[in-house]
């Protein structure tokens, strides 16, 4: 473009965090600190939950998977995430879940951040699980079983170490090489890691059971007899219609905590239960309005499906880290003519600028 | 990044069309050809309307404006647009409407295109209006009144010249400098242009009346007495709840054509009418299932609000032009580890690559 072309205003450029810059940001901050600070952002937003515009995500289902848009906003900031879920991708060497998201200014509608969210979603999912467990898991939990050792497993492990104090991991996956991959990735991080041959063995003596499998079907990863009194279950993998991980009998013995009931009743483990089965909204626990765990023998269940406000918190955290780190590019994404009524004139002048 | 870092696969990079590249693309193709070819893409998708997943757009309303997500998909391609509408922006030197959009592969969920859509929306709105008029306006229409001479007006003029044969323009805006800007931008393009002092004068002898004002309120741009028999009304500006341009009596005299009834009844001129007032879906006319204009004295009204499929068509057109023009960048937007279960391993290895 010729230098005679009018320079776009700063609002025309949207900060963009690429995959490479997201990875650099995590390393710059340190993944432990990142997860702790992210959990603080999540807690702050859960505490002001009623301030948000909330809607169940908008899903486009196909035979092979689902593509979803997850918007939310408060009075000043709007955010949404694009995310897919395609279990068959893994066999083709692709990610089951990929995502990106953005923030925009409510008062002008102008985008203010675009970011990769495949990595960021993994971090926010783990941070949300650990934040919930901080309020729901037995005091002094040290041992966690992780059933399903795919892309989310290491993030869960580190978040629970940082936020809950987990030291011992009991890994199980239907494919033992996934467990070995998880153990290898977490080596030297202070965990006592056991790869288990069966789910029964994995959950033995676990204070917390995390289920994070990826099949798009009603599976029964945990049966009733596997779950002892006092355990906290962090059910992450059952997160869309027709996709569950827990036997119904477990749900009937548990105190169930959810993010956004009208979404969870469609997507979560509780899709197996009647519409009026009592559940507690997690934000009420975080905000101190309702008790979390109330007894030693109580089974607590965080029936996690992921909600838009968690992505909003994560994007807000990333945005607040950009200025100090400089780990972003600027995208020429918003047409911004000098005279806002003169979009066509801007287009015409760009032709002259190219020609000159 | 060190050269020892594993190279991401081609799927990790999403083609991105910036504002600058969109303008260059329009000039490379020529705006006349762009609008004609875009109308062909629109017609092709309107003809197969039943094949699409359709949902009213998801709107977040605030005191100052609205932010919307507009998704749709067919069996192989998913698309959505982010778009805002903030009438007060203009006074602050900002665009009333800004937009961007994307396409993704339904079978994998991976994004395949990200594009600016502020300029593209202006083009698709004009092309859609002109496509509708090709089926609804009086034969041999030569004169069009344009009420509201802001950012959309020139695009409407050129699309109607190319697709309908409009030669004479009668411009009216509450702010005369907007009409002067429009006339100046269209000078030398073969139009006979008259700037009018009143709406009454502007609509005199017009074959087509295009209303494209931007106020977020129920306005009465056209009253019943202004609209003579046989006219086609292209109502573009009334496009959200509480925002209309036409007096109700005009609607009662008109044959009304809409994009997607359940959205138009909320957002269009017909929000003034009972829920069961008869309307015709434009796609049925385009597909030859229903007649468009049936008589010389009939008043036809295209109550346009903009629908997701139009953005889908526009994105599809842009995507098909990228390979031959090369007018795009590649964004590092999708995390794509060698082993899809090993997102964490990719993150760890990126640290080593930076350190090495």
* pLDDT digits 0-9 by tens, B114-141: 999 999 999 999 999 999 999 999 999 9
Percent of chain B scoring above 70 in pLDDT: 94
Separation CA B144–CA B154 (nearest Å): 12
Task: Determine contact: B337 vs chain A, CB below 8 A.
Answer: yes
**Please, what is the average pLDDT of chain B?**
92
Find out whether B150 and A341 touch, Cβ atoms under 8 Å.
yes
Task: Give every CB contact of residue B352 below 8 A, 6+ residues apart in sequence.
Answer: none
pLDDT digits (tens, 9 = 90+) for A86-127: 988 988 888 888 999 999 999 999 999 999 999 999 999 999
pLDDT digits (tens, 9 = 90+) for B306-322: 999 999 999 999 999 99
pLDDT value of residue A2: 38
Q: Which of A141-145, A345-349, B21-25 has the lowest mean pLDDT?
A: A345-349
Asked if the Cβ–Cβ distance from A354 to B65 is below 8 Å, we say no
- Closest residue of chain B to A91, computed from CA coordinates: B340
Separation CA A254–CA A279 (nearest Å): 10
B residues 265-284 lying closer than 8 A (beta carbon) to A: none
Homologous superfamily of the A10-119+310-340 domain (CATH): ornithine cyclodeaminase, domain 1 (3.30.1780.10)
Task: Determine contact: B354 vs chain A, CB below 8 A.
Answer: yes
Percent of chain A scoring above 90 in pLDDT: 80
Question: Mean pLDDT, to the nearest integer, of B217-237?
Answer: 88
Q: With 60 as the cut, is the pLDDT of residue A129 above it?
A: yes
pLDDT value of residue A5: 45
Q: Which residue has the higher pLDDT, A351 or A16?
A: A16
At residue B4 the predicted structure's pLDDT band, cuts being 50, 70 and 90, is: very low
Separation CA A159–CA A132 (nearest Å): 11
pLDDT value of residue A119: 96
B residues 154-173 lying closer than 8 A (beta carbon) to A: 154-155
B residues 13-52 lying closer than 8 A (beta carbon) to A: 16, 18-20, 22-24, 26-27, 31
The three state secondary structure string of chain B is: CCCCCCCCCHHHEEEEECHHHHHHHHHHHCHHHHHHHHHHHHHHHHHCHHHCECCCCEEEECCCCEEEEEEEECCCEEEEEEEEECHHHHHHCCCCCCEEEEEEECCCCCEEEEEECHHHHHHHHHHHHHHHHHHHCCCCCCEEEEECCCCCHHHHHHHHHHHHCCCEEEEECCCHHHHHHHHHHCCCCCCEEEECCCHHHHHCCCCEEEECCCCCCEEEEECHHHCCCCCEEEECCCCECCEEEECHHHHHHEEEEECCHHHHHHHCHHHHCCCCCCCEEHHHHHCCCCCCCCCCCCEEEEECCCCHHHHHHHHHHHHHHHHHHCCCEEEECCCCCCCCCCHHHHHHHHHHHHHC
CATH for B12-119+310-355 (3.30.1780.10, 3.30.2350.10, 3.30.365.10, 3.30.2020.30): 3.30.1780.10
* Protein fold of A139-306: Rossmann fold (3.40.50)
Bridging pattern class, strands B208-211 and B232-235: parallel
pLDDT value of residue B2: 39
Which of these, B14, B18, B328, lies nearest to A98 by C-alpha position? B14
Task: Give every CB contact of residue B37 below 8 A, 6+ residues apart in sequence.
Answer: B29, B317
Task: Give every CB contact of residue A184 below 8 A, 6+ residues apart in sequence.
Answer: none
* Protein fold of B137-307: Rossmann fold (3.40.50)
Find out whether B195 and B183 touch, Cβ atoms under 8 Å.
yes
Asked if the Cβ–Cβ distance from A19 to B333 is below 8 Å, we say yes
Q: Name the 3-class secondary structure at A78.
A: strand
Question: Mean pLDDT, to the nearest integer, of A81-90?
Answer: 91
At residue A242 the predicted structure's pLDDT band, cuts being 50, 70 and 90, is: confident
pLDDT value of residue B100: 97
pLDDT value of residue B215: 66
Give B298→chain A minimum CA distance, Å: 33
Question: Mean pLDDT, to the nearest integer, of B165-179?
Answer: 97
Domain edges within chain A: 10-119+310-340, 139-306
Find out whether A231 and A207 touch, Cβ atoms under 8 Å.
yes
Percent of chain A scoring above 70 in pLDDT: 94
Question: Mean pLDDT, to the nearest integer, of B61-87?
Answer: 94
pLDDT value of residue A180: 97
Q: Which two tokens stand for residue B107?
A: 């079978």
Give A157→chain B minimum CA distance, Å: 11
Give A217→chain B minimum CA distance, Å: 18
Angle (deg, nearest 10), helices B118-136 and B308-325: 120
């Amino acid at each position: 473009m010729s230098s005679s072309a009018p320079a776009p205003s700063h609002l025309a450029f949207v900060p963009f965090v690429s995959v490479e810059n997201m990875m650099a940001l995590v390393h710059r901050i340190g993944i432990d600190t990142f997860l702790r600070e992210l959990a603080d952002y999540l807690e702050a937003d859960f505490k002001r939950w009623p301030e948000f515009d909330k809607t169940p995500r908008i899903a486009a289902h196909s035979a092979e998977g689902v593509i979803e848009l997850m918007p939310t906003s408060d009075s000043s900031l709007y955010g949404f995430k694009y995310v897919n879920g395609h279990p068959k991708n893994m066999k083709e060497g692709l990610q089951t879940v990929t995502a990106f998201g953005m923030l925009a200014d409510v008062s002008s509608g102008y985008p203010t951040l675009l970011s990769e969210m495949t990595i960021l979603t993994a971090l926010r999912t783990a941070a949300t699980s650990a934040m919930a467990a901080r309020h729901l898991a037995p005091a002094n939990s040290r041992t966690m079983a992780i059933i399903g050792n795919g892309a989310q497993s290491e993030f869960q492990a580190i978040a629970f170490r940082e936020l809950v104090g987990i030291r011992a991991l009991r890994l199980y996956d239907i494919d033992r090489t996934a467990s070995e991959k998880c153990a290898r990735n977490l080596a030297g991080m202070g965990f006592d890691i056991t790869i288990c041959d069966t789910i029964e063995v994995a959950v033995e003596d676990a204070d917390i059971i995390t289920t994070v499998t990826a099949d798009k079907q009603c599976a029964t990863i945990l049966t009733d007899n596997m779950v002892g009194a006092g355990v906290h279950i962090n059910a992450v993998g059952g997160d869309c219609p027709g996709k569950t991980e827990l036997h119904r009998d477990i749900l009937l013995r548990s105190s169930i905590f959810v993010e956004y009931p009208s979404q969870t009743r469609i997507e979560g483990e509780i899709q197996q239960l009647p519409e009026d089965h009592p559940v507690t909204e997690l934000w009420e626990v975080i905000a101190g309005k309702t008790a979390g765990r109330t007894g030693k023998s109580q089974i607590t269940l965080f029936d996690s499906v992921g909600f838009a406000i968690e992505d909003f918190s994560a994007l807000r955290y990333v945005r607040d880290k950009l200025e100090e780190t400089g780990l972003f590019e600027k995208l020429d994404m918003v047409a911004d003519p000098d005279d806002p009524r003169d979009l066509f004139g801007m287009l015409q002048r760009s032709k002259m600028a190219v020609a000159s």
